[in-house]
Amino acid sequence: MIDGLVAGKILGDPEERRGKGEKLFVVAKVLAQTGEGETLIVNVIAFDDAPCTALLQLQEGDSLAVAGSLTPKVWTDKQGNTKPALDMVAQRVLSVQPG
């Protein structure tokens, strides 16, 4: 597990879901730029109240920074090219949206 801070823009609207025992959580996708100018998708999941509430106030295209635990991943696009991605369990969410 890697502690990290990712800044980017929301891709699609964050979604509230229910897990086992009806526990609420929120999922979102963040588009972040790498140092080389490539786009990286970060799959964010939040379980705690504060980051869940903050994510649900955002819409596609909103800017944010997310801190939490990162897990590197690789996915394959429709053309068969492998691309890097990250999964993050959000502990903190910072945005300029009123809340």
Here the tokens at position 64 are: 């944010």
Percent share of the chain, pLDDT over 90: 73
Q: How many CB atoms within 10 Å of residue 44?
A: 24
pLDDT higher than 60, residue 99: no
pLDDT of residue 37: 85
pTM of this prediction exceeds 0.85: yes
pLDDT of residue 98: 58
Provide the mean pLDDT of the chain.
Answer: 92
Domain ranges of the chain: 2-95
Here the tokens at position 13 are: 């609207």
The CATH architecture annotation of domain 2-95 reads: Beta Barrel (2.40)
Where is 91: in which H helix or E strand? strand 82-95
Given a contact cutoff of 8 angstroms between Cβ atoms, the answer to whether 30 and 66 are in contact is yes
Given a contact cutoff of 8 angstroms between Cβ atoms, the answer to whether 44 and 66 are in contact is yes
